[in-house]
Amino acid sequence: MNTCAPQLLDYPKPLPSAFVPAAPVTRCRELAVGVIGPGRVGSALLDQLRAAQPRLEREGRLRLRLCGVVASKRMWLDCDDAELNGRHGGAQVWRPNDLDAFAAHVRGGTAPRDALLIDCSASDAVVSHYARWLAAGLHVVTPNKLAGSGALERWQAIRRASAASGARFRYEATVCAGLPVVQTLRDLLDTGDELVAAEGMFSGTLAWLCNRHDGSQPFSALLREAHALGYTEPDPRDDLSGMDVARKLVILAREAGWALSLDDVAVESLVPEALADLPREAFMDRLGELDAPMAARLAEARTDGGVLRHVAHLDAHGRASVRLAVLPAGHAFAHSRLTDNVVQFTTRRYCDNPLLVQGPGAGPEVTAAGIFADLLRIAESLELRA
């Protein structure tokens, strides 16, 4: 084997662009894209799409066309720039928010095109449009958890619309952002494997708190630190309640074929009943009341020689729970890195050792990348256009 460092330093070189020659640009897949919700994730996605556009077209893989953006109250359509370019010098023209007009514009008028709507909002109202958009042949990609974890009837209608029209509905980024979780579960099941259990730590905040909670300082001090660092939601109860984790578990449970809803998940909230309904300031003033119960849980875990972790669990019978669990010190979740998300699938094929995916499971850039990967998966299935 050649171990000559200098040679390795100069060589290998990046592959020349001729390495995988671009297909004749006369035949290239083309996708019209509309983005709903230009917030932190939506903006990161727009940046990633703009940066990737020239490369994807050069490689003859995909011609991306951004047709519009919808914000909470107003929207921009590319045609406005076209029409008004002369007068406005290309400045973007915003018009009142109208989701249906937006969808119609992205899909194209007399000559409908391959079109994709990306919902980066956290809005339930937007989700209510999915089924209609999919039925009309528009693909939908989203990190919005409200479709997959909301009313079962609505989700079923969304899936039916997608199956009937052939328009694709993808939502990898709803669980652990850019980590390959939903697609990995999908592949296991589609290839005939059987899910025995899905376990995960789906909250970086709670993972950090559990990792740091070693008894050296009270839980409330750690929580205040996490809050100051911006690791928690503005109201930490939104993390401590476990509801966001439960939503992710419902999405995975439905992916596994269980007609599960949020109410079916046994969720243990870390917020004492007495503090659940207080105004935020009052709650922050009384954080100390979390210390005794959390210290007790830690002591209990240690007498068993285990560690305390916040775990979402789905079993082979579709039973779902989200709770503080005592795990053996050798458990994979016991060694997870601070703030990492982890998911592991135990199946008939992965029975002795499960399949495990771990890494940062939140943040605008990795969430946007998860959406972008879904977009590319859909683009692969588009017909080549002259």
Residue of 13, 73, 145, 248 with catalytic role = 248
Q: Which of 72, 85, 92, 156 binds its own copies (CB under 8 A)?
A: 156
- Is 86 one of the binding residues for its own copies (CB under 8 A)? no
Of the pair 99, 366, the CB lying nearest its own copies is at 366
- Is 210 one of the binding residues for its own copies (CB under 8 A)? no
Residue 227: phi and psi, rounded to 5, are -65, -45
Q: Which of 25, 229, 259, 282 binds its own copies (CB under 8 A)?
A: 259
List binders of its own copies among 91-120 (CB under 8 A): none
Q: Which of 74, 160, 280, 385 binds its own copies (CB under 8 A)?
A: 160
Give CA–CA dist 382/386, Å, rounded: 12
Query: Distance between terminal CA atoms of the chain?
Result: 48
Residues 6 or more apart whose CB falls under 8 angstroms from that of 334 comprise 306, 307, 309, 327, 328
List binders of its own copies among 40-59 (CB under 8 A): 48, 51-52, 55
Give CA–CA dist 243/265, Å, rounded: 9
Residue 190: exposure state from Cβ atoms within 10 A (0-12, 13-18, ≥19): exposed
Return the residue matching tokens 């727009």: 46
- Is 292 one of the binding residues for its own copies (CB under 8 A)? no
List binders of its own copies among 186-205 (CB under 8 A): 187-188, 190-193
Q: Which of 54, 108, 257, 288 binds its own copies (CB under 8 A)?
A: 257
The stretch near its own copies (CB under 8 A) out of 85-93, 126-134, 158-166, 288-296 is 158-166
Q: Which amino acid is at 177?
A: A
- Is 26 one of the binding residues for its own copies (CB under 8 A)? no
Give CA–CA dist 67/83, Å, rounded: 14
Number of residues that bind its own copies (CB under 8 A): 83
Q: Are 303 and 289 in contact (CB under 8 A)?
A: no
The question of whether 248 is a catalytic residue gets the answer yes
Catalytic positions, written as ranges = 248
